């Protein structure tokens, strides 16, 4: 051992200790900053708001790294856009909204720490939800422990409501309701046949697909493939191959963006013609989706949501304007997460401005009351005892010639004719 140490010392280059210390310290500092997760605080003051005195702190944990980083960024943009809009419209109780963000690295453990920190150290007055059911579930427990309302727009999986908490308020349509209009449309357009299903094991996507399966089975459709795959999956070719092998022409996928992109690409590579395809998430990511799968492969792909860039909701045009001017995102490519986060902020502000106090207990009580109705960019909002929004109107959207359009339910205003059957992959025209 001693011989080796001597040899190692002999072959090691001279070390400038001071340089090494500086480099080490710099590296450590940069790495802590770069990590972006955990305890790193990212305070975000919004644009100056004239005529407002004092401020109301609103805290959110957002996934700026990890599995949900793509959608975490758009969630943060949604909250920032709302704070700017709210401040331009009198703030909350005449005070300026100040957003405080913490990054959770998409970790259910870190999100718990973050909400505890937001409430006990940052002393935020209100908290709004993180991205995904997976993170909303544990964070809503923390908010409940500190008697805080948690208004959220991206955590509508059944497991959130199954907790029986009374402080959770989901402003979007619940997961189980999201694809119902699609499931009801299929029997009107197709005779009973094989339908392939696949879903990632998240508490949002899986129940959504299960609900469609139940409805279609009751109408005589046959389930050919049920692929459930873990969040960590990186190779989606076996899933695509299994679906192709089933021969099903109607495909229902409970996806997140990465697998949503990969499966469409795999079907396109195999020239596997389908007549109808819907994904839980992925196509809703706007430019990111277009860039990943290619413009001509987007045409005909459907997804459920309560908002699209041309939606007629309250302040919807302003949201589009903020996103295009402030975040330089094209109107047609704005992610639905932006609107979901924006809506959560809108509903929070409306409720607080109505009760004229920042007391969370009164806020929770009011939001549960029968006469509490709200307007948001996603449409009407009201809440059940468990915080679901039965007033929401979930739409099904479709990419048509480079644009996102609402296609279901067909009876609703602003809805255009569904493109059916879906054109072959690679034949959609650019918008």
Strands 222-229 and 194-200: parallel
- Rounded Cα gap, residues 241 and 217, in angstroms: 23
324 binds other proteins (CB under 8 A): no
Instruction: Tell me: does residue 28 bind other proteins (CB under 8 A).
Output: yes
CB 124 within 8 A of CB 65: no
Asked if 116 touches other proteins (CB under 8 A), the answer is: no
* Per-residue x/- track, 191-210, other proteins (CB under 8 A): ----------x---------
Q: At 102, is the secondary structure helix, strand, or coil?
A: strand
State in angstroms the smallest separation of the CB of 202 from other proteins. Answer: 13
For residue 32, the minimal CB distance to other proteins (Å) is: 8
CB nearer to other proteins: pick between 75 and 178:
75
Least distance in angstroms from the C-beta of 43 to other proteins: 17
Alpha helices (H) in 103-236, listed in sequence order: 108-120, 133-145, 158-161, 175-178, 180-189, 205-218
Q: In whole angstroms, what is the distance from residue 248 CA to residue 243 CA?
A: 7
Among 2, 232, 356, 413, binds other proteins (CB under 8 A): 232
Is residue 23 a contact residue for other proteins (CB under 8 A)?
Answer: yes
Which residues does residue 304 pair with via DSSP β-bridges, in sequence order?
A: 396
* Least spacing, CB of residue 260 vs other proteins, in Å: 9
Q: Whole-number minimum distance, CB 24 to other proteins, in Å?
A: 9
Residue-wise DSSP of 251-291: EEEE--HHHHHHHHHHHHHTT---SEEEESSSGGGTHHHHH
Does residue 344 contact residue 128 with C-beta atoms inside 8 Å?
yes
Q: Does residue 340 bind other proteins (CB under 8 A)?
A: no
Cα–Cα distance for residue pair 12/94, rounded to 1 Å: 65
Q: In angstroms, rounded to a whole number, what is the distance separating the alpha carbons of residues 231 and 252? A: 17
Does residue 12 interact with other proteins by CB under 8 A?
yes
Q: Does 73 bind other proteins (CB under 8 A)?
A: yes
Residue linked to tokens 């339908």? 195
Using CB under 8 A as the binding rule, whether residue 20 contacts other proteins is answered as yes
Cβ atoms within 10 Å, residue 31 = 9
Q: Report the residue number, 230 or 413, with the smaller CB distance to other proteins.
A: 230
User: Which of 18, 50, 53, 235 touches other proteins (CB under 8 A)?
Assistant: 235
**Contact with other proteins (CB under 8 A) among 50, 230, 328, 385:** 230
According to the binding rule CB under 8 A, does residue 65 interact with other proteins?
yes
Per CB under 8 A, does 332 bind other proteins? no
Shortest Å, Cβ 31 to other proteins:
4
- Give the residue among 394, 422, 389 at the shortest CA–CA distance from 180: 394
Piece of 53-61, 290-298, 384-392, 401-409 that binds other proteins (CB under 8 A): 290-298
Q: Does 216 bind other proteins (CB under 8 A)?
A: no
CB 276 within 8 A of CB 378: no
**Cα(410)–Cα(417) distance, rounded to whole angstroms?**
7
Give which of 346, 405, 418, 409 is closest to 378, Cα–Cα.
346
CB of 66 to other proteins, least distance (A): 5
Q: Which is nearer to other proteins, 292 or 418 (CB)?
A: 292
Residues in contact with 402: Cβ distance below 8 Å, sequence separation at least 6, in sequence order: 290, 295, 298, 299, 332, 428, 429, 430, 431
Nearest Cα to 298, choosing from 169, 133, 427, 110?
A: 427
User: Which tokens belong to 25?
Assistant: 């310290």
Does 18 bind other proteins (CB under 8 A)? Our answer is no
Specify whether the CB–CB gap between 230 and 236 falls below 8 A.
no
Residue 328 near other proteins by CB under 8 A: no
Interaction of residue 418 with other proteins, rule CB under 8 A: no
Report if residue 233 touches other proteins, rule: CB under 8 A. yes
Q: Site mask, other proteins, residues 238-277, x = CB under 8 A?
A: xx-xx-xx-----------xx--xx--xx-xxxx------
C-alpha dihedral sign at 423, 309, 171, 413? negative
Specify the residue, 106 or 389, whose C-beta has the smaller distance to other proteins: 106
Distance CA 140, CA 132 (A): 12
Residue 234 contacts other proteins per CB under 8 A: yes
Q: Which of residues 355-394 bind other proteins (CB under 8 A)?
A: none
Q: How far is the CB of 3 from other proteins (least distance, A)?
A: 7
Is 104 one of the binding residues for other proteins (CB under 8 A)? no
Residue 227 binding other proteins, by CB under 8 A:
yes
Q: With 0-12 CB in 10 A as exposed, 13-18 as middle and 19+ as buried, what is 375?
A: middle
Binding stretches for other proteins (CB under 8 A) = 3-4, 7-13, 15, 20, 23, 27-28, 30-36, 63-67, 69-73, 106, 201, 227-230, 232-235, 237-239, 241-242, 244-245, 257-258, 261-262, 265-266, 268-271, 285, 288, 291-292, 294, 297, 425-426
């Amino acid at each position: 051992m001693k011989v080796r140490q001597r040899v190692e010392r002999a072959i090691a280059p001279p070390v400038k200790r001071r340089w090494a210390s500086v480099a080490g310290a710099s590296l450590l500092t940069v790495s802590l900053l770069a990590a972006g997760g955990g305890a790193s605080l990212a305070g975000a003051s919004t644009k100056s708001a004239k005529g407002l005195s004092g401020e109301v702190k609103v805290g959110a944990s957002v996934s700026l790294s990890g599995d949900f980083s793509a959608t975490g960024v758009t969630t943060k943009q949604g909250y920032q856009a709302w704070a700017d809009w709210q401040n331009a419209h009198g703030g909350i109780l005449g005070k300026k909204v100040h957003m405080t963000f913490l990054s959770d690295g998409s970790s259910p453990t870190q999100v718990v720490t973050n909400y505890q920190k937001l409430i006990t150290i940052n002393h935020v007055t209100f908290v709004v939800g993180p991205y995904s059911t997976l993170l909303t579930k544990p964070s809503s427990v923390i908010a409940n422990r500190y008697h805080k309302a948690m208004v959220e727009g991206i955590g509508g999986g059944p497991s959130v409501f199954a907790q029986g908490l009374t402080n959770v308020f989901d402003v979007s349509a619940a997961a189980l309701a999201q694809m119902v209009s699609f499931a009801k449309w299929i029997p009107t357009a197709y005779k009973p046949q094989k339908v392939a299903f696949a879903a990632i094991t998240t508490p949002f996507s899986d129940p959504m697909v299960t609900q469609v399966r139940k409805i279609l089975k009751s109408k005589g459709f046959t389930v050919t493939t049920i692929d459930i795959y873990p969040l960590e999956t990186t190779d989606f070719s076996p899933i695509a191959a299994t679906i192709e092998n089933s021969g099903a022409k109607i495909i229902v996928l409970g996806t997140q963006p990465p697998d949503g992109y990969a499966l469409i690409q795999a079907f396109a590579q195999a020239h596997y013609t389908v007549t109808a395809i819907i994904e839980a998430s992925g196509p809703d990511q706007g430019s990111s989706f277009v860039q990943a799968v290619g413009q001509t492969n987007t045409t005909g792909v459907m997804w459920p949501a309560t908002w699209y860039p041309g939606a007629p909701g309250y302040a919807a045009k302003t949201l589009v304007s903020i996103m295009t001017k402030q975040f330089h995102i094209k109107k047609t490519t704005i992610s639905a997460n932006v609107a979901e986060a924006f809506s959560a902020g809108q509903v929070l502000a409306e409720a607080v401005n109505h009760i004229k106090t920042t007391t969370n207990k009164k806020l929770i009580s009011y939001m549960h009351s029968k006469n509490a109705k709200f307007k948001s960019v996603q449409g009407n909002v009201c809440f059940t005892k468990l915080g679901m929004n039965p007033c929401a109107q979930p739409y099904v959207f479709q990419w048509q010639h480079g644009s996102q359009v609402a296609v279901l339910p067909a009876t609703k205003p602003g809805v255009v004719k569904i493109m059916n059957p879906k054109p072959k992959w690679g034949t959609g025209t650019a918008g």
